[in-house]
Amino acid sequence: MPDETLPQPARDEIELVTVLRALGDPVRLRLLAVYADDQEHNCDQCDLGLEDLHKSTVSHHMRVLRESGVTTTRTSGRNRFVRLRRADLDARFPGLLDSVLGAAER
Amino acid sequence: MPDETLPQPARDEIELVTVLRALGDPVRLRLLAVYADDQEHNCDQCDLGLEDLHKSTVSHHMRVLRESGVTTTRTSGRNRFVRLRRADLDARFPGLLDSVLGAAER
DNA sequence: TTGATCGTTTGATGTTCGTCAAACAGTGGG
DNA sequence: CCCACTGTTTGACGAACATCAAACGATCAA
């Protein structure tokens, strides 16, 4: 079965308000910090440092990030790999991602 | 009666999540664009381009912006003057405000 | 094929949010 | 002193949201 990219907004469809709202949540901001390395990540809570949350809750937050345009998700077998859409975000909202990541690391 | 500054978080108390959540709303983003000139603004909807909203709704949104640390409000007589806390935001989250304002103008 | 694994979806619950309307409060002008 | 003006506060209501639990679906290994 070939890999597949889950539904997500095109670069020009990414909206500032939606992105800001997506990032305006402590859990999703934690996820963003994990994704800051521009590597692919699966959905394992242990890796994500979210062991306190139910897996369906994590799934919900990852969907919000994807549908807002912050991340992209690739399917491979029964795993899903999530990655930051840094190029798209930088093109659409220059400087935004860097400043948020810088502030989130604190 | 002397002028007075309404309650607001100190610079070091401004939280990233709270700011992002405050800006993750279309009305408050419109307000932010108005405040981008670093001038003081009163609460008149006509000036703000928010004639479609009830005045208590506008008051609510301005409170959210103030309590999140995005704006400061000075009382003078029966008027209130709102201004961006640009220096505080730049110090705490370098580049964030500029990138949001740049993206919001579009 | 059977079972384990990874993650999503659905439903339920309580909370937060955005909005309006009406009442309220402080201020300053006649 | 009264009244108009500016803006806030409170209450109500529906929509959206965060969370969990349980059921489901797809995949891979034995």
Interface check for B98 against chain A (CB to CB < 8 A): the answer is yes
What are the chain A neighbours of B95 within 8 Å (beta carbons)?
95, 98-99, 102
- Cα gap A66→B38, rounded to integer Å: 34
Q: Class assignment of domain A4-105?
A: mainly alpha
- Cα gap B35→B19, rounded to integer Å: 15
Separation of CA B97 and C1' D7 in angstroms? 27
Report the pLDDT value the prediction gives residue B67, as an integer from 0 to 100: 98
Task: Determine the residue type at B102.
Answer: G
Separation of CA B14 and C1' D8 in angstroms? 24
Q: Select the residue from B14, B17, B28, B64 to test the A interface by mutation, using most A Cβ atoms within 10 A.
A: B17
Nucleic acid strand C within 7 Å of B2 CB: no
In sequence order, what are the residues at sequence separation of 6 or more whose Cβ sits closer than 8 angstroms to the Cβ of residue B90? B97, B98
Question: What is B14-105's CATH number?
Answer: 1.10.10.10
Q: What is the pLDDT along chain A (106 residues), one digit of tens a residue?
A: 557 899 999 999 999 999 999 999 999 999 999 999 999 999 987 778 888 999 999 999 999 999 999 999 999 999 999 999 999 999 999 999 999 999 998 7
Q: Select the residue from A20, A31, A68 to test the B interface by mutation, using most B Cβ atoms within 10 A.
A: A20
Among B21, B2, B7, B1, CA closest to B73: B7
Q: How many A×B Cβ pairs under 8 Å?
A: 74
Q: In Å, how far are A21, B41, B91 from B21, measured between CA atoms?
A: 6, 22, 19
Interface check for A61 against chain B (CB to CB < 8 A): the answer is no
- Cα gap A28→B103, rounded to integer Å: 21
- Separate counts of helices (H) and strands (E) for chain B: 6, 3
Separation of CA A55 and C1' D23 in angstroms? 14
Report the pLDDT value the prediction gives residue A2, as an integer from 0 to 100: 55
pLDDT tens digits, residue range B21-48? Answer: 999 999 999 999 999 999 999 998 777 8
- Residue B1 pLDDT more than 70? no
Interface check for A102 against chain B (CB to CB < 8 A): the answer is yes
- What phi and psi values does residue B79 have, to the nearest 5 degrees? -105, 155
